[in-house]
Amino acid sequence: MKISPYSLRRWLALTLPFCFGLALLISCSQAADAPKDKKDETKSVPSAPASGDLVPLVLKLPPPAFKGTPKDLQLSSFVEPMSDKPRPPMMVPPGLKNLAKDAKLTSSDKNATASVLEKITDGDKEASDQSIIFLRKGSQWVQMDLGAPAELFAILIWHAHNTAKVYHGVVVQLSDDPDFLKDVRTIFNNDQLNASGLGVGTDREYFETFEGKLIDAKGAKARYIRFYCKGSTESALNEYTEIEVYGRPAQ
C-alpha cells in the first residue's frame, strides 16, 4: 500500500511525542531504582558525635572585691591590662575533677604548717583576710602532690584579690620527681627578672581579680605541681587564697 507524504508526516507527529514520553518515564524509573553513590550516602547519614568533644569548664567564682585599676599604681609594659569583660570559658574534655581537693601540700617556707597550707584547697576563695595565707618574703613555692600521675587541663590560682595588685615571679612547673630535679616542665612563667633562677619568663604579669589566673595545662601528665611567687606590687610577702587543678587520672 502506497503511503502519501502527508499521511507519513501526520503519523510521525502523533507517535513521536508518545515515544519520547515513554522513554523519559523509563529513564526516571531506572534512576530511582539505581543505588545511590557513596557521596550521596555520606550526606544523608548524620555523623555520630565524637568521643573527644569539649565542654566549657564550669568554675565557681567568688564575688569581686574591687572595680577598676588604681591610677597611682606604677606598672611596666610587661603587665597585661585589666579587662572589663568576663573571661571566655575554657574548653576542656568532659568529666574533669578538681584534683587539688585531695592533694598534699608542702612549701619552701618551713613556717607554713600543714594546717595553714590546707586553706589553699579548702574551697574558700573570698577576698577577706581570713581566706588568705601568707608566706615569707623572697621567692617561695607551694608544692602539690596529687598522689598519682594525672592528665591536667586547667590550673586556677588566686593569690589575693582583695585589692588591685600584680604578683611577681609567678611560675608553675610540673614533674613526676618530688624534688623537681628531673623531668621538669614549665607551663607558666612571668618571672621577667629570673628571681627564682628558673629562667626568664615570657608570659606577662597580670592583675589579681576574683576570676583568678586560669592556666591551660593542655593535657600534660604529672604527679607534682610547684607554684612559685615573689611578692606583689603591694607587699613583699607571698599570699595565696586558693588553687584548683582540673584533670583526670593519667591513662
pLDDT digits (tens, 9 = 90+) for 55-71: 999 999 999 988 766 66
What are the respective helix, strand and coil percentages of the chain, to the nearest 5?
20, 30, 50
What's the confidence (pLDDT) of residue 67? 74
Residue 206 within any structural domain of the chain: yes
Residue 30 lies in a domain: no
Its sign, for the CA torsion 190, 191, 197, 200, is positive
Mean pLDDT over 81-108 rounds to: 95
Question: What pLDDT, on the 0 to 100 scale, is given for residue 169?
Answer: 96
Residue 1 resides in a domain:
no
CATH number for the domain that contains residue 218: 2.60.120.260
Q: Is the pLDDT of residue 21 over 80?
A: no
Q: Provide the grid cell at 232.
A: 606583689
Q: Is residue 43 part of a domain?
A: no
- 3 lies in some domain: no
Q: CA neighbours within 13 Å on the CB side: how many for 127?
A: 16
For residue 209 the three cell numbers come to 581579680
In a domain, 24, yes or no: no
Q: So what's the pLDDT on residue 52?
A: 64
Q: What are the cell numbers at 180?
A: 623537681
Number of structural domains, the chain? 1
C-beta separation of 208 from 125 below 8 A: no
Mean pLDDT of the chain: 84
pTM of the model: 0.78
Residue type, 37: D
Output 138 or 7, whichever has higher pLDDT.
138
Q: Is residue 45 part of a domain?
A: no
Domain assignment present for residue 18? The answer is no
Domain housing 170: 57-249
Report pLDDT for 22. 46
